[in-house]
């Protein structure tokens, strides 16, 4: 696909999401990267029952806008987004981290095991039997349980945080993990599991539900 066609499709996707958010008091004339955290928090506080839906739309919009910037950077011969200075790109990354970190706790089903816990325990089982490369298995587990990248990254980031606690991953990497393609993010946690011990990391993940 030509770069111009990719850019046009991304712009159409962004426009569609901005129109959806305009139903909840977001200004379609403003790019999402121009909003401050405090502005978004105020809008979410007024959202009532639409709170979760707005967060989903925001995450989709941030990801689409981030893809657009990456395509623009790539077409200019640059490899990565410029997030070292105060730029719209940096604000996007900040917003994406905030959306991932400010996750809502899922409602507990009758057996008191959330979907989040189920996914973690499933990945723990994969890690226990992982002999070589289990990236594909973990990706399948994430995609079979969650339809949105928003939720998949929540799981990956939690595992990465456990890797940091075990001394196998630097905190700086965890902070940026949601900016990586999902497959690369999973590769990072698999690499860490081999460093700290797959069984040790699996045990940490399996214990998560007991700490609620």
Higher per-residue confidence, 68 vs 130 = 68
> Region 28-52: what's the mean pLDDT?
85
Q: Residues near 52 by Cβ (< 8 Å), separated by ≥ 6?
A: 104
- Count CB neighbours of 208 within 10 A: 17
Q: Which of 11-20, 28-37, 66-75 has the lowest mean pLDDT?
A: 66-75
Within 13 Å, how many C-alpha atoms sit on residue 44's CB side? 18
Domain boundary among 68, 101, 134: 101
Q: Are residues 85 and 138 in the same domain?
A: no
Residue at 143 is within a domain: yes
Q: Are residues 122 and 82 in the same domain?
A: no
Residue at 109 is within a domain: no
Domain boundary among 101, 124, 154: 101
Residue 212's pLDDT band, with cuts at 50, 70 and 90, is very low
Q: Are residues 183 and 94 in the same domain?
A: no
Q: Are residues 79 and 157 in the same domain?
A: no
Q: In the prediction, which pLDDT does 136 show?
A: 87
Q: In the prediction, which pLDDT does 109 show?
A: 40
Query: What are the CA-CA distances from residue 193 to residues 63, 102, 120, 162, 168 (Å)?
Result: 27, 26, 14, 10, 8
> Region 22-39: what's the mean pLDDT?
89
Most confident of 11-15, 73-77, 105-109, 172-176: 11-15
Q: In the prediction, which pLDDT does 78 show?
A: 52
pLDDT at residue 51 is higher than 70:
yes
Q: In the prediction, which pLDDT does 101 show?
A: 58
Distance CA 82, CA 180 (A): 14
């Amino acid at each position: 696909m030509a770069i111009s066609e990719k850019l046009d499709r991304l712009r159409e996707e962004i426009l569609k999401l901005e129109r959806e958010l305009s139903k909840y008091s977001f200004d379609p004339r403003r790019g999402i990267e121009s909003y401050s955290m405090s502005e978004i928090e105020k809008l979410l506080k007024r959202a009532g029952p639409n709170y979760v839906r707005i967060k989903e739309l925001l995450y989709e919009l941030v990801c689409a806008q981030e893809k657009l910037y990456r395509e623009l950077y790539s077409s200019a011969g640059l490899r990565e987004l410029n997030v070292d200075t105060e730029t719209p790109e940096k604000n996007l990354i900040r917003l994406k981290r905030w959306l991932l970190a400010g996750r809502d706790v899922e409602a507990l089903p009758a057996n008191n095991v959330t979907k989040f816990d189920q996914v973690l325990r499933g990945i723990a089982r994969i890690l226990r039997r992982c002999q070589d490369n289990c990236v594909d298995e973990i990706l399948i587990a994430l995609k079979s349980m969650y339809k949105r990248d928003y939720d998949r990254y929540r799981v990956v980031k939690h595992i990465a945080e456990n890797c940091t606690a075990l001394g196998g991953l630097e905190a700086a990497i965890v902070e940026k993990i949601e900016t990586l393609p999902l497959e690369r993010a999973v590769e990072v946690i698999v690499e860490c599991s081999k460093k700290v011990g797959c069984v040790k990391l699996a045990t940490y993940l399996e214990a998560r539900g007991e700490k609620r």
